[in-house]
Amino acid sequence: MTLFGESAGARSVCAHLVSPASAGLFHRAVLQSGPCLDDETLVRTEALRHARRLAGKFDRPLRAVTAAELVAADDEETRYGPVYGTALLPDTPREAFASGRFHRVPVLHGINRDEETFRVYGLELSRQRLLDESDFRAYVTGLYGAKVAKRALARYPASAYGGSYARALAAAMTDAVWGRPAIATNEALGARTTTYAYEFSEQDNPWFKDLPPASFPVGAPHLAELPYLFDLAWSEPLTAEQRRLSGALTGIWSDFARTGRAPWQPYSPDAPHTASISSEGVRPTDLAKEHNHCFWKGL
């Protein structure tokens, strides 16, 4: 039995990796665009604090409140996902991987080269204008503070991205939000179980049928690999070259599901082998260098 998950699905697979209740129920795991060691892990104490704060806004039990009322009253941005620190999930992935208390099955784990371009595309779409320097600064400041925003503007100048602040912001946030936790996840898993690390890096991918094009090259955004693995109604049809990549990608995934092996060397802290997968084939890549890990790892 192999568990596959993408995005929130990958975070669910992370939960199975550390849940005592899932022992023996699966034998391999695939994590697509959902690093286990990201900044979104939700623990029970935080979930209870948020629930109590929300409950204080109503004069009746939360179960009697409609979903629309809850959404309208919730003015505090919070994380979502599996809640750790419970009987079902006693340890967070970070705690479980560090202690070795997780299911040590072979893992195939990776991210897409340009994860955040789709989110930044959404920012431009919602504002009906191109992003500018003030948008870049405000977005990064909201996540990491003004000092980091100033450094990020210098590290990711729009001039290096065809004059596009949207593309520069997407590059910075891909490195911070995806590259950093992906490397941390590879390090933690690779130290204790067979782990194959990859990056989906194809730059010519099918777009969404019903969405206008972006103002900048989106590369390999979040979800980009899915049309190669599944026949999806929302995706443009694959070209002949994309169909060849689809065959290669489904072959790698299927072989891993059967054997627990990928066609490149496993990752370890001392030998961080990582495969870049695209229409050009499967090639080695340096994830830390590619995603400015030295810049973001201390944040």
Domain regions of the chain by residue span: 109-296
Separation between Cα atoms, residue 114 and residue 123, nearest integer Å: 16
Neighbours of 64 (CB within 10 A): 9
What would the pLDDT profile of 122-167 be if each residue is shown by its tens digit? Answer: 999 999 999 999 999 999 999 999 999 999 999 999 999 999 999 9
On the question of pLDDT at 299 being above 80, the answer is: no
What would the pLDDT profile of 200-217 be if each residue is shown by its tens digit? Answer: 999 999 999 999 999 999
Q: Are 287 and 293 in contact (CB under 8 A)?
A: yes
Q: What is the three-class DSSP state of 28?
A: strand
Q: 31 pLDDT band (50/70/90 cuts)?
A: very high
Q: Nearest-CA neighbor of 287 among 189, 129, 175? A: 175
Average pLDDT over the chain reads: 96
Q: Give the pLDDT of residue 202.
A: 99
Separation between Cα atoms, residue 245 and residue 239, nearest integer Å: 10
Q: What is the three-class DSSP state of 3?
A: strand
Q: What is the three-class DSSP state of 108?
A: strand
Q: 79 pLDDT band (50/70/90 cuts)?
A: confident
Q: What is the CATH number of domain 109-296?
A: 3.40.50.1820
Q: Give backbone dihedrals phi and psi of 217, rounded to 5 degrees, phi first.
A: -65, 125
